Amino acid sequence: MRKMDKDRGEATAMFTMRQLDERDLDQFNALLRYAFQVTSDDLVKSGWAEDEIKVSKAPILKGSFVLGWFHKERLASQVVVYPMQVNIQGELFDMGGVTGVTTYPEYSGRGLIHGLMKECLKHMRQEKQLISYLYPYSIPFYRKMGWEIISDKLSFTIRDTQLPKHRDVPGMVERVPLDHEDFKNVYEYFAMQHHGALIRDELAWEEYWRWEKDDVTAAVYYTKDHRPIGSLVYYLENEVFHIKEMACLNREANHGLWNYIGAHFSMITEVRGDNYSGEPLAFLLEDSEISETIAPYIMARIVDVPQFLERYPFPRRPETLRLHLRVHDALAPWNEGDFLLCWEEDKTRCERVEEGPLQNLIELDIQTLTTLMMGYKRPSYLYNNERLNMEYYLVQVLEQLIPVEKPYFSDYF
């Protein structure tokens, strides 16, 4: 436990910041339930017994970094950082998954979350978690602290008469238990093929299922030699087939799973689902006049600029190219300043520059750098919307350096 630094000001003078442990489980759980308005009735409807949610959250205090402000002995505000991994352009990066960002209303307006997030970024940097993801309850709030949108959720509704026509495939679909090894293996291979995707460990799978209905079903598409190459998570309710997630390793699996959905034709009037690929589904359907809506989903921020860029798998490493980045990051001072980005002997080098002429200068904030490197928005789009301050000739340089692939992310934590 340590007293807050003097520069935090009088607003937090009566508070103490420390990491939470198992002794704080009751307070940790109570603050989460209060802030997210989870009632006992909600728990029962979701299939939880009264004390199960508390027990299920206990391992979080062991395996995660949970930081809180205490007023005397009472927990006032907290932030949780899950240790996770994501696929960034084919490379696995350690990621800090930020969740449980909560404050009791009587303690709001004191900058408590700002202080916690600043300390959490220091922790993530120390743990080599070079990027952080979070699901935002307020996009403007997190943008102020350096996070930016990197993925979308495309929700669709397909009438029963618009379902894809049956396609002959050699394999078949089998319903399996939610913890079936084949089901998890399909997602693991799928995540390794999709930029931005979460690599689900035990903690991630627990979060994936936490609030699901009891009647949710998992199905796996198998090839004729019984290899699992596709998976589907869904439930049926009020004549609607709800798709939570569909993962296909090839087109055969895609056709097979849509055949399976179509086999429910007599039971349903429509199919609803979410698509996280960044590309609309309508183009692939024979009858494309379906309903699709798009909404921002996950936000991210680079935790350590030079370390992230040195690990980033650039498709081209032009040894004659030297770029200078002027980064602005109010919450992480180690990212604030000028950096030289260059390539030598097929390796990326990024180091701080204190003085000297800066050629090929690109000025941007940490939010823009994050969404740029993750491929959510292209350099030309960011330049045209005044998010990149640089000479126009550098637009094409960046377009060639950064892969054209939007992140896929379907998890919630």
Please tell me the predicted confidence (pLDDT) of residue 193.
96
Residue 219 pairs with which residues in a beta bridge? 175, 232
**For residue 266, with 0-12 CB atoms within 10 Å meaning exposed, 13-18 middle and 19 or more buried, which class applies?**
exposed
Domain that holds residue 76: 2-129
Distance between CA atoms of 49 and 63, rounded to whole angstroms? 23
Is 195 part of any domain? yes
Task: Give per-residue pLDDT as tens, 209-245.
Answer: 987 767 899 999 999 999 999 999 999 999 999 999 9
How many domains are contained in the chain?
Answer: 3
Residues 286 and 317 in one domain: no
Residues 164 and 290 in one domain: yes
Please tell me the predicted confidence (pLDDT) of residue 332.
98
Is 140 part of any domain? no
Please tell me the predicted confidence (pLDDT) of residue 331.
97
Residues 292 and 307 in one domain: no
Q: Which residues contact 70 (CB under 8 A, 6 or more apart)?
A: 15, 16, 17, 18, 76
CATH no. for residue 342?
3.30.1050.10
Residues 225 and 275 in one domain: yes
Is 138 part of any domain? no
pTM of the predicted structure, to 2 decimals: 0.90
Is 280 part of any domain? yes
Is 342 part of any domain? yes
Please tell me the predicted confidence (pLDDT) of residue 317.
85
Q: Which of 129, 163, 195 is the last residue of a domain?
A: 129
Q: Which of 296, 330, 349 is the last residue of a domain?
A: 296
Residues 394 and 337 in one domain: yes
Which stretches of the chain drop beneath a pLDDT of 50?
Answer: 1-7, 40, 42-50, 52-55
Residues 203 and 108 in one domain: no
Residues 267 and 182 in one domain: yes
Please tell me the predicted confidence (pLDDT) of residue 46.
41
Task: Give per-residue pLDDT as tens, 400-413.
Answer: 999 999 999 999 98
Kindly report the number of other CB atoms within 10 A of residue 376's CB atom: 23
Residues 270 and 347 in one domain: no
Please tell me the predicted confidence (pLDDT) of residue 45.
46
Q: Which of 296, 313, 333 is the last residue of a domain?
A: 296
Residues 207 and 169 in one domain: yes
Is 135 part of any domain? no
Residues 289 and 363 in one domain: no
CATH no. for residue 164?
3.40.630.30
Cβ atoms of residues 131 and 253 within 8 Å: no
Please tell me the predicted confidence (pLDDT) of residue 12.
64
Residues 323 and 377 in one domain: yes
